[in-house]
């Protein structure tokens, strides 16, 4: 009888202990769940785009706003401190109202070539080799002069001209910057150089690249950019080649005709086959009319040079 009562008492004590432990565990779980729910619904101030921010532009304070959002609706890498955003560059288009995250912004070293260029400038690439590119020693950021050498069309060699001075090198090959002071073999053997020029200089550079031989001349960073003026590019015309037979120097027919019109004197007789109407000879005192590269006798048909 006594043993039975002791067993019942023991069983009752164990049941009470188990009930208390289960209650404590349940209470702890509910408390943690409530705490987590409150944390997820707690408002957090995040930085959002007040307007649509286009890609690759500096972010200003007018483009941003701070809004309160539940923690559960905030991206893990959302930015909450505006100091991290101001002055940075947008890497992609950020829609209005979207949270600004760390993956959406960067710095000039993180983005492409257009951000590195000054406003109003253009990037133009020209082909180089070991000689034209100064043995691969030019690096992005250096300043160079562009020397153009026209092709030889006569006995005398044409003069070389420095058509651009102090042009900034934007890239060598596809490298926007070198990771070390000494370029790698691949960078040193690049076959193109990209230069930052004005629109007018871009036209000149493309024309010179197609019609002349270009070389780079590396400038010292201690030298002012305007220390030397740029030079005009001169080409030798086809008239500079030796004539097939000796001919006495004389003004061209067009120059003589124009002088006759200005001075109101009889125009000279043009060479055979030029300046004559078909089937008839115009008198020497007839008036010649010059229209562009055509001239005609008074009442006659126009002739093309």
The reply to whether 281 and 253 lie within a common domain is yes
For residue 240, being part of any structural domain is answered with no
Residue carrying structure tokens 């080409």: 235
Burial of residue 275, with CB atoms counted within 10 A of its CB: 0-12 exposed, 13-18 middle, 19 or more buried: buried
Query: Rounded to whole angstroms, how far apart are CA atoms 39 and 215?
Result: 66
Q: What is the dihedral of CA 47, 50, 53, 57, to 10 degrees?
A: -70
CATH number at residue 56: 3.90.1210.10
Does 89 share its domain with 132? no
Q: What is the pLDDT of residue 226?
A: 79
Same domain, 57 and 36: no
Last residue of a domain, one of 90, 110, 130: 110
Task: Answer whether residue 228 is part of any domain.
Answer: no
Distance CA 202, CA 114 (A): 16
The per-residue pLDDT for 20 is 83
Task: Report the pLDDT value the prediction gives residue 275, as an integer from 0 to 100.
Answer: 42
Whether residues 127 and 153 share a domain: the answer is yes
Output the CA angle 111-115-118, nearest 5 degrees. Answer: 155
pLDDT value of position 2:
64
Residues 49 and 7 in one domain: no
Residues 121 and 153 in one domain: yes
Nearest CA to 262 among 287, 282, 295?
A: 287
Q: What is the count of structural domains for the chain? A: 4
Q: pLDDT value at position 70?
A: 83
Task: Kindly state whether residue 25 falls inside one of the protein's structural domains.
Answer: yes
Cβ atoms 149, 212 nearer than 8 A: yes
CA–CA dist 117, 89 (Å, integer): 14
Assign 253 to helix, strand or coil. helix
Q: Do 155 and 181 reside in the same domain of the chain? A: yes
Residue showing tokens 């990037």: 123
Does the residue 231 lie in any domain? Answer: no
Residues 187 and 260 in one domain: no
| pLDDT attached to residue 145 | 94
Residues 152 and 168 in one domain: yes
Tens digits of pLDDT across the chain (305 residues):
666 777 777 888 888 888 888 888 888 887 777 776 665 566 888 999 999 998 878 889 999 999 988 877 778 888 888 888 888 888 788 999 888 998 888 776 555 677 677 889 999 999 988 888 888 788 888 899 999 999 888 888 888 999 999 999 988 887 776 655 666 676 677 889 999 999 999 999 999 999 999 999 999 888 888 788 899 888 775 544 433 333 333 344 444 444 444 444 454 554 444 444 444 444 444 444 444 444 454 444 444 44
Q: Is residue 227 part of a domain?
A: no
CA distance 258 to 252: 10
CA distance 185 to 173: 12
Domain of residue 293 covers: 248-304
Best CA proximity match to 224, nearest among 268, 286, 165, 150: 165
Is 22 among the domain residues?
yes
Residue 90 belongs to some domain of the structure: yes
71 with 139, same domain: the answer is no
Q: Which residues, 6 or more positions from 150, have their beta carbon under 8 angstroms from its beta carbon?
A: 158, 211, 212, 233, 234, 235, 236
211 with 120, same domain: the answer is yes
106 token code pair: 């960067």
In a domain, 58, yes or no: yes
């Amino acid at each position: 009888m006594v043993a039975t009562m002791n067993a019942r008492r023991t069983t009752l004590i164990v049941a009470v202990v188990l009930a208390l432990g289960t209650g404590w565990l349940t209470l702890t779980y509910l408390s943690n769940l409530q705490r987590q729910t409150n944390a997820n619904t707690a408002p957090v101030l995040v930085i959002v785009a007040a307007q649509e921010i286009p890609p690759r532009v500096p972010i200003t304070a007018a483009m941003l706003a701070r809004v309160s959002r539940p923690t559960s609706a905030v991206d893990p890498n959302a930015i909450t401190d505006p100091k991290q955003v101001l002055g940075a560059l947008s890497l992609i288009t950020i829609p209005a109202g979207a949270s600004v995250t760390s993956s959406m912004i960067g710095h000039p070293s993180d983005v492409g070539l257009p951000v590195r260029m000054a406003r109003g400038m253009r990037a133009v690439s020209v082909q180089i080799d070991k000689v034209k590119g100064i043995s691969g020693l030019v690096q992005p950021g250096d300043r160079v002069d562009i020397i153009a050498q026209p092709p030889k069309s006569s006995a005398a060699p044409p003069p070389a001209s420095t058509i651009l001075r102090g042009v900034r090198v934007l890239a060598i090959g596809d490298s926007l910057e070198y990771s070390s002071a000494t370029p790698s073999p691949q960078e040193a053997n690049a076959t193109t150089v990209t230069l930052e020029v004005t629109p007018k200089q871009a036209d000149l550079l493309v024309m010179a690249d197609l019609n002349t031989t270009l070389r780079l001349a590396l400038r010292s960073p201690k030298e002012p950019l305007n220390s030397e003026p740029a030079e005009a590019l001169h080409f030798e015309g086809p008239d500079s080649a030796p004539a097939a037979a000796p001919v006495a120097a004389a003004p061209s027919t067009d120059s003589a005709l124009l002088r006759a019109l200005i001075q109101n004197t009889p125009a000279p007789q043009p060479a055979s086959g030029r300046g004559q109407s078909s089937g008839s000879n115009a008198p020497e005192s007839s008036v010649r009319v010059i229209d562009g590269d055509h001239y005609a006798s008074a009442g006659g048909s126009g002739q093309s040079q």
